[in-house]
Structure 1
Amino acid sequence: MTKLGWTILTVILVAVSLFLSVLSFSSAPEGGFRDRVRQALPSFGRASPGVLVMPVAGVARDAVTDSWGDARGGGTRGHRGTDIMAPRGTPVVAAADGRVEKLFQSDLGGTTIYIRSADGHWIHYYAHLAGYAPGLHEGQVVKAGEQIAYVGDTGDAGPGNYHLHFGVQRMHGGEGWWQGEDVNPYPLLAGTAARR
């Protein structure tokens, strides 16, 4: 690209950034014009979760397989996470720095944890847990690699099917822990995200 081309590209990016910064102070309701513009534009500067810490202690990156989209519920839905097999009671650790947003019991996930990343752009979801680490509570700040729970088979995992279901959601402004856009966590766990 020529010097003139780079200059024009820089001017366009600066103009888009200024436009978005003005929108971020707008009083428009969530889901309105501001959010539609942000979603339509390329994600220049949008945070990426990068490569995450393996959330199950002692499991090597190359031991994890990509189960994204596999049939679940008798073929009624696709799998929206990565299952990491491990013995019952194996420590589960935070995949990244963040804050515990919700400790929750659900029919499908069983004992679960939702942790919002430090930058607020991502939710890391841990399901089928045998239990929480002692003292873990909502609002707690956790560091990558810090123990948060134990591998189990709660929810619809099935008795003896011990594993961690790990999910990642991209969060947009104002979304709660139960919302967000599912993202395949496998590249983030396998260490291939940085090459994408």
Structure 2
Amino acid sequence: MRSAMLVLVGVLLGANLTYFAMHRSSDRAPVARPDAGSAPVDDAVPMPPRGAIAEPPAEGPADPPVSAPPPAQAVVPVTPAPDVAAEAAIAGEMPAGLRIPVQGVPARALANTYDDARGEGRRHDAIDIMAPRGTPVVAVADGTVEKLFDSDRGGLTIYQFEPSGRYAYYYAHLDRYAPGLQEGRALRKGEVIGYVGSTGNAAEDAPHLHFAIFRLGPERRWWEGDPVNPYPLLAGEQGPSPGAMTGRGTGK
């Protein structure tokens, strides 16, 4: 009987020890979520509630790309056009005593259109002397007819060289030439050489003489040179009165 009691006590004691050991082990074991299978979850890490969707942190709009500043443009100094009239006046070479090239136009009627803008970014580089079609055009000084030319812009034109060959006088938009005018002919100041018109690119309803002066280079090319403003050179020339016109052409 005593032996039986000792066996029963031993069994009960062993059962208690086994239960105690199992209970301690369960305290240390990871807890498995019922909906996550057998994957262990650390109790120290808070889990989102069931059904929640974990999203990445919101990001603001991306910064715009920073473009490199454009390279600095080299500043090219602009060389102003030479003041041919001033240079020539200092050197004592400027033509003097020029006559207004349209008969009957007084100096007070001239307009300084030298710096006016023209198409294609061009400057006028001349003055326009308005007059009725057929008004005689006269040589502003002695010289020689260098070239008679019909161009798209200037229409019927005359290039006159002065005796020294340093300057050329240019008459454009002529209605017609004076009879007998030809290249190489000597001209006298005041001689009729043509008649006011609107040939070339001039407006048909605005006949006028386009008059320009060029200082020629050493090659003395009639089609190129440094422009000179004719206005101050003609401003002192009074010319004949409007009623004293002679040799008036019939025009077109």
Q: Where on the TM-score scale, by shorter chain, does this alignment land: which range? A: 0.7 to 0.9
Matched, 1:98 2:143: yes
What is the aligned counterpart of 2:159 among 114, 122, 126?
A: 114
1:88-134 CA distance string (max 9 Å, x none):
00000000100000000001100000000011111000000000000
Matched, 1:174 2:219: yes
Matched, 1:147 2:197: no
Q: Distance in 2 between matches of 1:46 and 1:61?
A: 23
Q: Distance in 2 between matches of 1:68 and 1:136?
A: 28
Q: Distance in 1 between matches of 2:103 and 2:113?
A: 20
2:171 corresponds to which residue? 126
Q: TM-score normalized by structure 1? A: 0.73
Question: How far is 1:173 from its partner?
Answer: 1.4
Letter in 2 for 1:148: I
Q: TM-score normalized by structure 2? A: 0.57
2:13 corresponds to which residue? none
Matched, 1:50 2:82: no
Contact 2:215-2:225 at 8 Å conserved across structures = yes
What is the aligned counterpart of 2:112 among 66, 70, 94?
A: 66
Q: Which runs of 5+ in 1 are unaligned?
A: 1-38
Q: Distance in 1 between matches of 2:91 and 2:105?
A: 32
2:132 corresponds to which residue? 87
Letter in 2 for 1:81: A
Question: How far is 1:46 from its partner?
Answer: 4.9
1:78 corresponds to which residue? 123
Q: How many residues align?
A: 151
Letter in 2 for 1:115: Q
Q: Secondary structure at the match of 1:156?
A: coil
Higher relative contact order (CA 8 A, sep 6+): 1
Question: How far is 1:180 from its partner?
Answer: 0.9
Contact 2:127-2:211 at 8 Å conserved across structures = yes
Q: Distance in 2 between matches of 1:129 and 1:110?
A: 7
Letter in 1 for 2:219: G
Q: Which runs of 5+ in 2 are unaligned?
A: 1-83, 238-252
Q: Secondary structure at the match of 1:188?
A: helix
Alignment RMSD (CA, Å): 1.7
Letter in 2 for 1:116: F
Letter in 1 for 2:100: M
Question: How far is 1:65 from its partner?
Answer: 0.8
Letter in 1 for 2:129: I
Contact 2:145-2:185 at 8 Å conserved across structures = yes
Question: How far is 1:149 from its partner?
Answer: 0.1
